[in-house]
């Protein structure tokens, strides 16, 4: 019989893409989410087909304990995101307390933990193609962007601490710039979400800074594949893996690509927004590209979806969502 898996944050972007993949493979899946950002509708049709949803908060250990009852694996995705516009305390609280609760329950139950971490922990490290050994270089504590990275870094430390003190089996997956269906349509979902909406409406695409900062965007299907490989690999215990793509692109070229794929007949309309316009002391990261060779060699992970194809699918989905908001 396949394992029973609890996914925290199951109603978010990654969760809603992962749940159907695990159900299709025969796993019994339980989802836990407080619906702070997530959308129950995205997984509603799966309920009763090997998937059960619990509305609840990972900050409450009794809730996590009840949800994890009988679970062999806990995939921990629940999180509060980058506090770019405030919410720093909420970010620290949800991410750190949530992770500690998950680990404490895993220690009691003997469940394995897969922790959804982020490339943000590499912070300002200027190296290109950062591997898992690269230094984690965070910025000043008065720049609220780093609260998110600090909370995820501390969560990773907690994973290793519970491995050491309680023998919890755990794997850390550092994802980067995910896109695809079920992504948030605003900045929470990343620049591509905002750019697609603007291009579909023929509005100006807001480019923060000069747009020459670059990222490696990763399709939801590849993120799911990497997660399933880590879940099923005999080599993943105690390891950190970067899960990303090799599709590095500048933000301005992402805007141009989306404008063309949307087939907007007008010339691209860009609006350059200085960082100071949206946050007093915001700090951007110039380039962020993950070396995924460890996941490739040890897990057999290879991203399969190229950026243009993945964006075409995302644009189609997002256009339908904008026609019927609320059904994300
Ligand atoms: N998507 C990406 O591009 C990306 C990149 C790097 C890292 N990650 C990591 O992957 C994981 C999943 O990311 P995502 O994009 O699906 O995030 P998401 O924001 O779409 O989903 C997070 C979910 O957690 C839920 N949640 C928030 N606080 C909660 C709480 N206290 N109790 C219960 N549920 C709560 C939200 O309602 C939401 O459904 C995160 O931990 C994130 O750090 C994602």
Q: Is the shortest distance between the CB of 37 and ligand 1 below 6 Å?
A: yes
With a CB cutoff of 8 Å and minimum separation 6, the contacts of 35 are 11, 55
Residue at 84 is within a domain: yes
Q: Which atom of ligand 1 is nearest to the CA of 188?
A: 19
Which atom of ligand 1 is nearest the CA belonging to 81? 19
How many C-beta neighbours within 10 Å does residue 325 have? Answer: 8
Q: What is the extent of the structural domain holding 38?
A: 4-178+217-243
pLDDT over 90 for what percent of the chain?
83
pLDDT at 36: 87
260 CA distance to ligand 1 centroid (A)? 30
Distance 266 CA to ligand 1 centre (A): 36
Q: What is the pLDDT of residues 184-216, one digit of tens each?
A: 998 889 999 999 999 999 999 999 999 999 999
Mutate to test the pocket of ligand 1, among 62, 77, 81, 98 (most ligand atoms within 8 A of CB): 77
As for how many domains the chain has, the answer is 2
What pLDDT score does 44 carry?
75
Q: Is residue 300 part of a domain?
A: no
Question: Whole-model pTM?
Answer: 0.96
Residues 67 and 197 in one domain: no
For ligand 1, pick from 32, 79, 130, 240 the residue to mutate: most ligand atoms within 8 Å of CB.
79
Cα–Cα distance, 115 to 102 (Å, whole number): 10
For residues 211 and 224, membership in a common domain is answered with no
Who has greater pLDDT, 328 or 257? 257
Q: Do 225 and 119 sit in the same domain of this protein?
A: yes
Query: Is any atom of ligand 1 closer than 6 Å to the C-beta of 116?
Result: yes
Please write the tens of the pLDDT for every residue from 12-41: 999 999 999 999 999 999 999 999 887 777
Which tens digits make up the pLDDT trace of 266-318?
999 999 999 888 677 778 899 999 999 999 999 999 999 999 999 999 999 99
Q: Is the CB of 57 under 6 A from ligand 1?
A: yes
Ligand 1: residue whose CA is nearest its atom 10: 116
Q: Are residues 227 and 271 in the same domain?
A: no
Q: Does 10 sit in the ligand 1 pocket, CB within 6 Å? A: no
9 Cβ inside 6 Å of ligand 1: yes
* In a shared domain, residues 251 and 238: no
65 lines ligand 1 (CB under 6 A): no
Which atom of ligand 1 has the smallest separation from the CA of 35?
Answer: 37
83: Cβ below 6 Å to ligand 1? no
How far is ligand 1, taken at its centre, from the CA of residue 234, in Å?
26
End-to-end CA distance of the chain: 32
Residue 298 lies in a domain: no
Q: Is the dihedral of CA 129, 133, 136, 137 positive or negative?
A: negative
Two tokens, residue 202: 């023929």
If you measure from the C-alpha of residue 9 to the centroid of ligand 1, how many angstroms do you get, rounded to a whole number? 6
Residue partners of 73: CB distance under 8 A and separation at least 6: 3, 4, 5, 6, 111, 112, 113, 114, 231
Asked if residue 282 and residue 138 are part of one domain, the reply reads no
**Is residue 91 one of the residues assigned to a domain?**
yes
Is 117 among the domain residues?
yes
CATH number at residue 260: 3.90.25.10
Residue 276 falls inside a structural domain: yes
The CATH number of the domain holding residue 46 is 3.40.50.720
CA distance 120 to 150: 9
Burial class (CB in 10 A: 0-12, 13-18, 19+), 247: buried
Specify whether 152 is located in the same domain as 190: no
Residue 251 lies in a domain: yes
Tell whether 294 is covered by a domain: no
> Could you give the 3-state DSSP secondary structure of residue 263?
coil
For residue 100 and ligand 1, the question of a CB distance below 6 A is answered with no
Same structural domain, 86 and 107: yes
90 and 221 belong to one structural domain: yes
Asked if residue 253 and residue 229 are part of one domain, the reply reads: no
pLDDT above 50 (res 58): yes
| Whether the CB of 35 sits within 6 Å of ligand 1 | yes
> Which single residue is written with the structure tokens 């979806």?
305
Residues 154 and 210 in one domain: no
Of 217, 236, 279, 259, whose CA–CA distance to 113 is shortest? 236
Residues 152 and 269 in one domain: no
Q: Decide: 208 and 169 in contact? Cβ < 8 Å.
A: no
Q: Could you tell me the pLDDT band of residue 324, with boundaries at 50, 70 and 90?
A: low
pLDDT at 328 over 50: no
pLDDT tens-place string over residues 64-100: 999 999 999 999 999 998 666 568 899 999 999 999 9
Please report where in the chains the tokens 């109603």 appear, as a residue.
Answer: 11
């Amino acid at each position: 019989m396949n394992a029973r898996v609890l996914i925290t944050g199951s109603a978010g972007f990654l969760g809603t893409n992962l749940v159907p993949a695990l159900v299709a493979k025969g796993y019994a899946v339980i989802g836990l989410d407080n619906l702070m950002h997530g959308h129950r509708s995205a997984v509603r049709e799966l309920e009763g087909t090997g998937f059960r949803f619990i509305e609840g908060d990972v900050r409450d250990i009794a809730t996590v304990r009840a949800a994890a009852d009988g679970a062999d694996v806990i995939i921990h995705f629940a999180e509060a995101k980058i506090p770019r516009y405030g919410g720093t305390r909420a970010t620290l609280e949800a991410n750190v307390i949530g992770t500690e609760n998950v680990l404490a329950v895993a220690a009691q139950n003997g469940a394995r933990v897969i922790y959804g971490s982020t490339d943000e922990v590499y912070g300002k490290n200027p190296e290109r193609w950062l591997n898992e050994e690269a230094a984690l270089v965070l910025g000043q504590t008065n720049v609220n962007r780093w609260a998110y990275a600090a909370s995820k870094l501390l969560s990773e430390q907690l994973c290793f601490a519970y491995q050491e003190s309680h023998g919890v089996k755990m794997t850390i997956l550092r994802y980067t710039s995910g896109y695809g269906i079920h992504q948030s349509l605003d900045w929470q979902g990343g620049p591509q979400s905002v750019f697609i909406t603007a291009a579909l409406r023929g509005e100006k695409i807001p480019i923060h800074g000069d747009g020459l900062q670059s990222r490696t965007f990763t399709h939801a299907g590849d993120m799911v594949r990497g997660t399933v490989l880590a879940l099923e690999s005999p080599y993943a215990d105690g390891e950190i893996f970067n899960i990303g793509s090799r599709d590095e692109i500048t933000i301005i070229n992402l805007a141009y690509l989306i404008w063309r794929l949307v087939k907007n007949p007008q010339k691209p309309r860009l609006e350059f927004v200085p960082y100071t316009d949206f946050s007093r002391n915001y700090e951007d990261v110039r380039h962020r590209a993950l070396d995924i060779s460890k996941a490739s060699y040890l897990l057999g992970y290879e991203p399969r979806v190229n950026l243009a194809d993945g964006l075409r699918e995302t644009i189609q989905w997002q256009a339908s969502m904008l026609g019927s908001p609320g059904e994300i």
